[in-house]
A and B are shown apart, each in its own frame.
Chain A
Amino acid sequence: MEKSIITKELISEHGLSEEEYQRILEILGREPTITELGIFSVMWSEHASYKNSIALLKTLPREGIGLLTKTGEENAGVVDIGDNLAVAFKIESHNHPSALEPYQGAATGVGGIMRDIFTMGARPIASLNSLRFGNLDTPEVRHLLKNVVRGIADYGNCLGVPTVAGEIYFEHSYTTNPLINVMTVGILEHQDLTTAGAYGPGNYVLVVGSATGRDGIHGATFASEELTEKSEKKRTSVQVGDPFTEKLLLEATLEIIKHDLIVGIQDMGAAGLTCCTSEMSAKANTGMDIDVSLVPQRETGMTPYEIMLSESQERMLVVVKPENLQKVEKIFTKWDLHSVKIGEVTNDKILRVRNNGKIVAEIPTESLVAGFGAPVYHRQKEKPKYLNRLNSFDITSIHKPDNYNQILVDLLKSPNIASKNYVYHQYDYMVQINSIVAPGSDSAVCRIKNSNKAIAMTVDCNGPYCYLNPYEGAKGAVAEACRNIICAGAKPLAITNCLNFGNPYNKEVYWAFAEVIRGISDACREFGTPVTGGNVSFYNESPGGAVYPTPVIGMIGILEDLNFATTQYFQHADDIIVLLGEHCNEIGASEYLKLRIGEPIANAPKVDLIYEKKVQNVCYQAIRQGIVSSAHDCSEGGLAVALAESCFNRECLFGAKIDLHLIYRPDFELFGEQHSRIILSINKKNLPQLMKIAHKEDVNIIEIGKVTFDKKFRINNFIDIDVENLFDNWYNQIAKLME
């Protein structure tokens, strides 16, 4: 073994607590070598071990019909969609790397989540992203946005996976700590479902893909601490992506899976070789004996420590039966990729690492892995003091506006509401020719070739809601995701989540985290959409404080018949416009209130989950009965913005003439963001049929106006403005701010 030289400083530099180091001594019965210290350090980092979140994560609803994987145990969640097909999907964050190096940080975020999908045996068919930045009036934020988008575009476009949907919000809280969450969805046939287990002692362990360099060493540890001025020096913790190699890896991997040549496979993401070897063997109740000197290296003089901890991109660990070695090598050679045997699966449950035969680490695999022997902590919680001040804000103290036209224009120009075409036109959203509903509508819809089915996808979260009320905000995120899926004509299936928070050792942050878990749980139970997996990202803080609690929900839904795919855009002049749901008597946490006051304030809108589900049922049934021309969920900006967006059909702009019988204050009715509201446009003759469905579900339905050809947007005597004017303001605002 290597001679140990462990000092107190070294332990603390590795982010390990005194208590954790004592545990290492107990597990090993001796001092660790430097390589072992590195291995424990990354595996017990927050990023890899989920040590501060796993106890709560286990309370999320994880059971459901058609789940083909157990939550958190594989690279991604997999859901059966019938006809021997299944969907693999997952969301992940790449926040810290992107804060320092936005282009590479975002690009490698895409690369990582793609590998999680194709290692399941699924071909990625779509990618989504959920991004948070500070306000666009600072050049630093514009730099971040521009390069994050370029990074996502260059990587995803080259790979040939369409980026079909997403969301972007701009709030002061994210100024120095942007959030970059990326989701990928893949399709597989059941027999190709692949595991991440190193089964079968005696089987060979292969490293495939790119050569290993010194990039990204300690990336996982880096992601598990707050960003400070010193973080700039950790720029080398950010990996560099090569989408071309990833494309080859994608094709080669799917080819070996198709030929049934592998036992197990895992992406080398955070914590690289260390994470793969320990997780794959712990999962299979086996061990591994590897020699790092065999790993292809692109730099000279790399130590075992560096090879084990490197996060070089586009690499995977593959376990194969000895008799299949040659066939696997032949396929990787065809794609000009390395595939090198570095060791074997053993039955002693020990991760044994050698360097030229000499043992440099020997650790019981289980002791390293989340869900097995890695530490589990329960942190203290405390309701934040800021909430009382913010929640008790009296919304009626706001004067009624004088000029509703101007408010509507200002809301449409708010970067949170304005069209994101500046972004999505940089993404290839059409490659693979499945995108039947393009970016911009409530959900993206991709057909599944050679079938009549399609998949609807969305990512949703309103950070300010979660800041002002984490429980209701989290419920709202799930409810809105569901509503978006329903509005596309699909049935919600399951979710993946990416939980972005500050430092879990801060009691207030942890309280919000626990509230969010409770909110997601309640909502997912009600909607029957289990949590299939996801990612927790803590330490999203900078000297200015923590980001808003931001639990991003990625949801997929199924259309059994793709002909029912529906968009938010009005289709025919003279269709009537109908509001499903109730009048709105609140403006808490709304964009409108932010416009008036300058910050997110008051309380987030509450979700009545039972009513929400009924509203969604009505919408779904109406679409399935073929009587709906368009369906759009009311969210940021409220009813008025939702109506305006429905007019923005790119093929042909429409107008709307709305006569709304007001019960409450007009600005509350028009701009409040109450949940459980959907706007439908339908042919007048179908109104009785729609009413029948609504009455059966006991859902309120209000005929509020009609679609017009004249390109005028009118609401009672409050708003009267040209749609082209609204459209131009909405469509071009972000590009203007980026100039």
Chain B
Amino acid sequence: MRFNIIVFPGSNCDYDTYFVLKNVFHCKVDFIWHKQDKLKNADCVILPGGFSYGDYLRPGAIASFSPIMQELKKFAQRGGLVLGICNGFQMLLEMGLLPGSLMLNNTLSFICRNVYIKVINMHTPFTNTIAEKNVLKIPIAHKEGNYFIDEEKLKELQKNNQIVFQYCDKQGNTTEYTNPNGSVNNIAGIINKNGNVLGMMPHPERASEMILGSDDGKFIFQSIIASTFANHHKI
């Protein structure tokens, strides 16, 4: 199992993700500098959180033109697993690998805190080990996480089971009150139609060790590892 983490100028969750994959999951992990044009035998590519290019223009907008992103597109088209976390999610939208957009939070401010998310689709390579526990405690930390999509495309997302995570309370209720940033339909994460590209605002790498208050984020990395293993096995 080999992860590639793409590093942009301004990425700041790159080391956190690396640390968790190395120290908690004992995986092979490589940093890929954004000016490179080749991935390194990746089973899964992670676009980490942070402020690539200082969020100038729009979050993720400039990063989506980095040389490595062409390679990433091809990787995704071949069915490779891509996980975009926070700023990485914003990049996936800018590149058109996922639909919709992320706007300024309806609180008009940055929000950093633990939230609960409900796992809506447990049949993705990113969520398939979650079965017994469908509410996860994972933190968010963003200013532009207010997911927007028009109604027609929202229906399409729903029809295709592309909504993976929704903001909820501890018991799993998704209400206006449990929506931290104004996202349409409490959406916290979505997947592409092919089911191999996931974008999410919450940070699973910040919730992978109990010492940090939650290890629910582990389910996501575990699922990626399990599905990659299963896939290799098939071959």
- Residues of A that sit less than 8 Å from B by CB: 150, 153-154, 157-160, 242-245, 247-248, 335-336, 424-433, 435-436, 438, 447, 449, 562
Contacts and interface: CB of A to CB of B under 8 A. Distances in A.
Contacts of A244: 9-10, 51, 53-56
B211 to A, nearest CB: 5
B111 A335 contact: no
Given A157-B51, A160-B50, A436-B212, A430 B139 contact: yes
A227 B33 CA distance: 47
Nearest to B180: A425
Given A429-B112, A432-B16, 18 more contacts: A153-B110, A157-B141, A158-B10, A158-B51, A158-B55, A160-B50, A160-B51, A244-B9, A247-B12, A247-B51, A248-B9, A248-B10, A425-B111, A426-B110, A430-B206, A431-B141, A433-B205, A562-B211
Given A436-B211, A436-B212, A335 B9 contact: yes
Given A158-B55, A244-B51, A244-B53, A430 B111 contact: no
Interface in B28-85: 49-51, 53-56
Interface residues of B, number: 30
A424 B113 CA distance: 9
A430 B112 contact: yes
A181 B211 CA distance: 30
15 contacts: A150-B109, A154-B110, A160-B12, A242-B54, A243-B51, A244-B9, A247-B9, A424-B112, A425-B112, A425-B113, A430-B112, A431-B12, A432-B16, A436-B212, A562-B211
B177 interface: no
B56 A428 contact: no
A522 B201 CA distance: 50
Contact of A157 (B53, B56, B110): B110
B54 A158 contact: yes
Interface in B82-117: 109-113
Interface of B: 9-10, 12-13, 15-16, 19-20, 49-51, 53-56, 109-113, 139, 141, 143, 203, 205-206, 209, 211-213
Contact of B16 (A150, A158, A433): A433
A432 B10 contact: no
B65 to A, nearest CB: 14
Given A160-B12, A247-B9, A247-B10, A426 B205 contact: no
Closest 8 CB pairs of A and B: A160-B12, A244-B54, A158-B51, A433-B16, A428-B141, A428-B112, A426-B110, A153-B110
A431 B110 contact: no
Contacts of B113: 425
B212 A426 contact: no
A372 to B, nearest CB: 39
A243 B9 CA distance: 12
Nearest to A150: B109
Nearest to A248: B9
Contacts of B112: 157, 424-430
A300 B56 CA distance: 25
A601 to B, nearest CB: 37
Contact of A430 (B10, B51, B53, B212): B212
A111 to B, nearest CB: 13
B47 to A, nearest CB: 15
Nearest to A454: B211
Nearest to B55: A158
A159 B111 CA distance: 16
Nearest to B109: A426
A123 to B, nearest CB: 10
Nearest to A439: B112
A545 B54 CA distance: 40
A247 B7 CA distance: 13
A449 B110 contact: no
A300 B10 CA distance: 29
Nearest to A160: B12
Contacts of B110: 153-154, 157, 426-428
Contacts of A447: 211
A233 to B, nearest CB: 30
Nearest to A434: B212
Contacts of B10: 158, 244, 247-248
Nearest to A450: B23
B104 to A, nearest CB: 13
Nearest to B56: A244
Contact of A159 (B9, B12, B16, B49): B12
A243 B10 CA distance: 9
Contact of A435 (B19, B143, B212): B212
Given A158-B55, A243-B54, A244-B51, A433 B9 contact: no
Contacts of A449: 19
Given A335-B9, A425-B113, A427-B112, A432 B51 contact: no
Contacts of B9: 244, 247-248, 335-336
Contacts of A430: 112, 139, 141, 203, 206, 212
Contacts of A245: 54
Given A247-B10, A247-B12, A433 B55 contact: no
Nearest to A438: B213
A157 B141 CA distance: 9
A433 B209 contact: yes
Contact of A431 (B16, B20, B211): B16
A428 B19 CA distance: 18
Contacts of B49: 431
Contacts of A427: 110, 112
Nearest to B205: A433
B51 A431 contact: no
Nearest to A335: B9
Contacts of B203: 430
B214 to A, nearest CB: 10
A562 B212 CA distance: 12
A159 B50 CA distance: 8
B13 A160 contact: yes
A433 B212 contact: yes
A244 B15 CA distance: 17
Contacts of B51: 157-158, 160, 243-244, 247
A447 B212 CA distance: 10
Contacts of A243: 51, 54
Contacts of A562: 211
A430 B12 CA distance: 11
B170 to A, nearest CB: 10
A426 B203 CA distance: 16
B124 to A, nearest CB: 24
- Counting chain B CB atoms within 10 Å of each CB, which of A150, A430, A562 scores highest? A430
A138 B103 CA distance: 31
Contacts of A426: 109-112
Nearest to B15: A432
A336 B10 CA distance: 12
- Counting chain B CB atoms within 10 Å of each CB, which of A248, A336, A431 scores highest? A431
A449 B113 CA distance: 22
A367 to B, nearest CB: 40
Contacts of A424: 112
Contacts of A425: 111-113
